[in-house]
């Protein structure tokens, strides 16, 4: 079995709200206008529903875009799977606002995305878990409430997709989880590894790597860095820092007693206090002075019509580095002592790369929580060079 490559991106925000791509709004438009807004060339290669069980009508919605300029036979062309966070945010946010081949504009139209991730790779967006976006939950009871259940559903959906066309079967697969999706991606990768060990070679999923983008993966550790991080950035004073640390104790207490609902509420209050203290438009990118990301409004309007980052205060470099130190991996000490290299794109400083064997950590400069939306060309260069093992991303 191939070594799983874990890749952590520091530039993607912790979204506790549940967003639904299919949420209702009242928009009226003619069929001719709809065609102009969603041109035929912007349609996915395939889309539809993937079953999660043989005993249920619940299914995960998918949209797949084949590689535009692959230099490999399709049977060997890498396949990137995009999982959004939330939990409960549609992956169509990532599609139309970040890494898909067409990107939404403020005028609620589509334009070609120069930072698309499907230049050399197939790109598969999954609305996960069931009940999210366009995915179907036949009953509330079937919606998973733990990572094991989500991983089981995603494994079923992925294997169903691979059966749609013989050319998909043995393609190397990279799972990308953004924000809370970092949990989905990592647990699904682990689930695939365990299932592969039980399956015959022809039935295995060819998992090649897992990407975690500004992952919200360890609440207590990540939130624990926020008061000091905000203080040393000059966003709050020492008195405010002490107030935040007191609020943080409540989050820690609920986390340690496994009261996850209360812990989530307390974390939300902590973020609200921090935002009130700083006056920032969004904690997802503290450089935004006027407005937060518009991805939810824009994509929701479009779909109704058409039928770690450096600046992320919540899941940025400081928060992710704190999590990395907790990894139970035989190479963690070598990784922590590895050289942090300067990364350039077209001669311009783009960020920093730290790597040891199968673990690569990247800080992308100039991006917020939704880094591919802020730095599309550098995000594209990063994912292409990492998957294809080029430049600084060659395995040590």
Q: Which of 225-229, 295-299, 361-365, 369-373 has the lowest mean pLDDT?
A: 295-299
- pLDDT-wise least confident of 71-85, 109-123, 302-316, 367-381: 302-316
Cβ within 8 Å of residue 239, ≥6 positions away: none
Above 50 in pLDDT, residue 26? Answer: no
Which one of 312, 358, 374, 385 is the catalytic residue?
Answer: 312
CATH topology classification for 1-217+294-396: Rossmann fold (3.40.50)
C-alpha separations of 213 from 110, 172, 333 in Å: 24, 20, 22
Residue 24 has pLDDT above 50, yes or no: no
pLDDT, mean of residues 133-155: 90
**What is the spatial distance between Cα 333 and Cα 192, in angstroms, rounded to a whole number?**
26
With a cut of 60, say whether residue 52 has pLDDT above it: yes
Please give the pLDDT value at position 19. Answer: 31
Beta-carbon contacts of residue 285 (< 8 Å; ≥ 6 apart): 13, 293, 309, 311, 312, 367, 368, 369, 374
Query: Which tops the pLDDT comparison, 226 or 11?
Result: 226
Whether 285 is catalytic: no
In this structure, the strands spanning 359-364 and 348-356 are antiparallel
Provide the pLDDT confidence category of residue 306 given band limits of 50, 70 and 90.
very low
Q: What is the percent of the chain with per-residue pLDDT over 90, rounded to a whole number?
A: 25
> How would residue 316 be classed by pLDDT, with cut points 50, 70 and 90?
low
290 is catalytic: no
C-alpha distance across the termini of the chain, in Å: 19
| Marked catalytic residue, from 179, 186, 216, 358 | 179
Active-site residue identified among 19, 20, 153, 369: 369
Taking the C-alpha atoms of residue 141 and residue 306, their distance in angstroms, rounded to an integer, is 31
Specify the pTM: 0.74
Annotated active-site residue 22? The verdict is: no
**Domain residue limits, the chain:** 1-217+294-396, 236-278
Which segment, 72-86, 202-216, 301-315, 345-359, is predicted with the most confidence on average? 72-86
Higher per-residue pLDDT: 318 or 15: 318
């Amino acid at each position: 079995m191939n070594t799983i490559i874990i890749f952590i991106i520091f530039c993607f925000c912790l979204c506790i709200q549940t967003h639904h791509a299919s949420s209702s709004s009242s928009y009226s438009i003619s069929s001719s206008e709809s065609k102009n807004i969603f041109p035929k060339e912007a349609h996915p290669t395939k889309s539809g529903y993937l079953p999660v069980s043989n005993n249920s009508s619940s299914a995960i919605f998918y949209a797949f875009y084949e590689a535009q300029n692959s230099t490999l036979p399709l049977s060997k062309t890498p396949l990137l799977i995009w999982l959004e966070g939330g939990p409960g945010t549609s992956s169509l946010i990532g599609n139309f606002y970040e890494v898909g081949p067409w990107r939404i504009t403020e005028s609620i139209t589509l334009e070609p995305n120069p930072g698309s991730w499907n230049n050399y790779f197939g790109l598969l967006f999954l609305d996960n878990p069931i009940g999210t976006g366009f995915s179907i939950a036949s009953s509330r009871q079937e919606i998973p409430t733990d990572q094991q259940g989500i991983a089981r559903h995603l494994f079923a959906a992925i294997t169903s997709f691979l059966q749609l066309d013989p050319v998909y079967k043995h393609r190397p697969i990279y799972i990308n989880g953004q924000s809370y999706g970092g949990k989905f991606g990592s647990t699904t990768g682990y689930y695939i590894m365990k299932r592969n060990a039980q399956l015959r070679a022809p039935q295995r999923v060819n998992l090649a790597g897992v990407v975690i983008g500004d992952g919200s993966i360890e609440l207590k550790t990540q939130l624990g860095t926020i008061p000091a991080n905000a203080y040393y950035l000059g966003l709050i004073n020492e008195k405010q820092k002490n107030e935040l640390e007191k609020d943080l104790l409540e989050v820690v207490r609920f986390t340690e007693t496994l009261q996850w609902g209360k812990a989530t509420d307390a974390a939300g209050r902590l973020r609200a206090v921090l935002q009130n203290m700083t006056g920032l438009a969004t904690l997802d990118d503290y450089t935004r002075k006027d407005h937060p990301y518009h991805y939810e409004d824009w994509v929701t309007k479009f779909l109704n019509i058409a039928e770690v980052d450096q600046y992320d205060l919540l899941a940025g470099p400081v928060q992710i580095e704190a999590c990395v130190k907790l990894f139970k991996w035989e190479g963690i000490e070598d990784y922590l002592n590895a050289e942090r290299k300067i990364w350039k794109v077209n001669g311009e400083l783009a960020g920093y790369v730290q790597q040891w064997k199968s673990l690569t950590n990247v800080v992308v400069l100039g991006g917020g929580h939704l880094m591919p939306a802020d730095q599309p060309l550098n995000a594209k260069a990063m994912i292409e060079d990492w998957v294809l093992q080029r430049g600084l991303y060659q395995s040590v």
